[in-house]
Amino acid sequence: MDFIMEKEMITTDILIIGAGPTGLFAVFEAGLLKLKCHIIDALAQPGGQCTELYPKKPIYDIPGFPEVLAGDLVTNLMKQIEPFQPGFTLGERAETIEKLEDGSFIVTTSKGTKHHAKIVAIAGGLGSFEPRKPAIDGLEKYEDKGLAYMIKDPEVYRDKKVVIAGGGDSALDWSIFLADVASEVTLVHRREEFRGALDSVEKVEELVQADKIRLITPAEILDVNGNGKVETVLLQHNDEAKRMEVIECDAFIPLFGLAPKLGPIGDWGLEIEKNAIKVDNTLDYQTNIPGIYAIGDVNTYPGKLKLILCGFHEATLMCQSAYQRIFPDKRYVMKYTTVGGIDGFDGSRKEAEKSIVKKIGNKQNV
């Protein structure tokens, strides 16, 4: 039998689909209500658009932050939610959902991981980021067998021969990183020009001079070969002679960027309008299926704005409603964090310093 069937089921209160800023902040608001969260994301790292599309660019409209780099915002959010110990299933796409008799849900990912939760909060942004794949016939059979479109664990490439293709930030940054890990890094790009942060471009230049990276431009990978796994790639130099070259390698990593697709969530029976999920914005951002909420860029309602601060607000109201759904008989009033402090699930506690009550004596006249 498939080993996937034997995998243990992950159980949580709120299952969040999407680790963008909205999904991350939902963990914090849920944590204040003592609800546990688990997050699924198709990407290898949390942060959604902020980390995937513009980590090194500034954002100017986060309340209270005159300027913050998108990557730093995500780092801060991760730090903020740490006490609430969210679980993560990364690099897997949420594929199917099943509603059980008791009103809870089972969500299964592309890799067969099952998650059982009372509440599902879809914070899927523009959709799950799917890699742009090079047009090479029969490429699928090498997927996860030396061929990868994103890097989850760089250690996999320790002492291996790696060929990276692409001309953007991720191709540059991973070439730099793997230069110290892999035994051989070859960077291939269709053009001679790269587009990325200046320091990345300069660093690659340095590593090429130091023979730590072999740079081949302009060139293209035309084919992948091997017996059950990647063993060689066929490269064509884009010079006059159109010279062909076979490169021996253990891994081929085309990094041509990622394009978001709403994907399987579109078939979950949710009301969809213009590629987004319709929700009740007068109350709690619930979808047409009770128990499933949609927050952040992925939802739509009259006047919707796709902004991070709007996602934060939606996440907050969603958690209140989720709490009521899980504990219909419990009364609850919102408490300010300044007043109530924060009790992490890890036993940590943060609280405001207490003021003291003490008499101040009058000036003594001698």
Ligand X SMILES: Cc1cc2nc3c(=O)[nH]c(=O)nc-3n(C[C@H](O)[C@H](O)[C@H](O)COP(=O)(O)OP(=O)(O)OC[C@H]3O[C@@H](n4cnc5c(N)ncnc54)[C@H](O)[C@@H]3O)c2cc1C
Using rule CB under 8 A, residue 260 touches other proteins: yes
Q: Provide the minimum distance between the beta carbon of 175 and other proteins in the complex, in angstroms, as a whole number.
A: 17
Shorter beta-carbon distance to ligand X: residue 69 or 156: 69
Q: Provide the minimum distance between the beta carbon of 324 and ligand X in the complex, in angstroms, as a whole number.
A: 23
Helix, strand, coil percentages for the chain (3-state, nearest 5): 25, 30, 45
Q: Mention every residue, 6+ apart, whose C-beta is less than 8 A from residue 178.
A: 154, 157, 162, 164, 185
What is the spatial distance between Cα 202 and Cα 113, in angstroms, rounded to a whole number?
A: 41
Using rule CB under 6 A, residue 14 touches ligand X: no
Q: Which of 32, 37, 68, 123 binds ligand X (CB under 6 A)?
A: 123
Q: Which of 31, 127, 167, 226 binds ligand X (CB under 6 A)?
A: 127
Q: Which of 12, 14, 18, 207 binds ligand X (CB under 6 A)?
A: 18
Using rule CB under 8 A, residue 256 touches other proteins: yes
* Binding-residue total with ligand X (CB under 6 A): 38
Q: For the window 99-138, what string marks contact with other proteins as x by the rule CB under 8 A?
A: ---------------------------x-----x------
| Omega of the bond leading into 218 within 30 degrees of 0 (cis) | yes
CB atoms within 10 A of CB 53: 16
Report the partner that residue 23 touches, choosing among ligand X, other proteins, none (CB closer than 5 to 8 A by kind): ligand X
HSE-CB at 258 with a 13 A cutoff on CA atoms is 26
What is the spatial distance between Cα 238 and Cα 75, in angstroms, rounded to a whole number?
A: 41
What is the spatial distance between Cα 363 and Cα 97, in angstroms, rounded to a whole number?
A: 73
Q: Which of 180, 193, 248, 267 binds other proteins (CB under 8 A)?
A: 193
Shorter beta-carbon distance to other proteins: residue 1 or 135: 135
Interface segment toward ligand X; rule CB under 6 A; list 5-13, 35-43, 143-151, 196-204: 35-43
Residues 275/279/281/284 CA torsion (nearest 10 deg):
-140
- 245, β-bridge pairs: 235
Interface segment toward other proteins; rule CB under 8 A; list 49-57, 88-96, 106-114, 331-339: 49-57
Closest CA to 281 of 259, 303, 261: 303
Q: Provide the minimum distance between the beta carbon of 284 and other proteins in the complex, in angstroms, as a whole number.
A: 28
Using rule CB under 8 A, residue 195 touches other proteins: yes
Interface segment toward other proteins; rule CB under 8 A; list 153-161, 206-214, 235-243, 254-262: 254-262
Chain centroid to CA 107: how far?
Answer: 17
Residue 17 near residue 107, CB atoms below 8 Å: yes
Tell me the CA distances in angstroms from 184 to 150, 211, 224, 249, one per residue in order.
Answer: 18, 10, 18, 9
Residues binding other proteins (CB under 8 A): 53-54, 57, 126, 132, 167-168, 190-191, 193, 195, 256-257, 259-260, 275
Residues binding ligand X (CB under 6 A): 17-23, 40-43, 48-50, 53-54, 59, 61, 93-94, 123-129, 263-265, 296-298, 306-309, 311
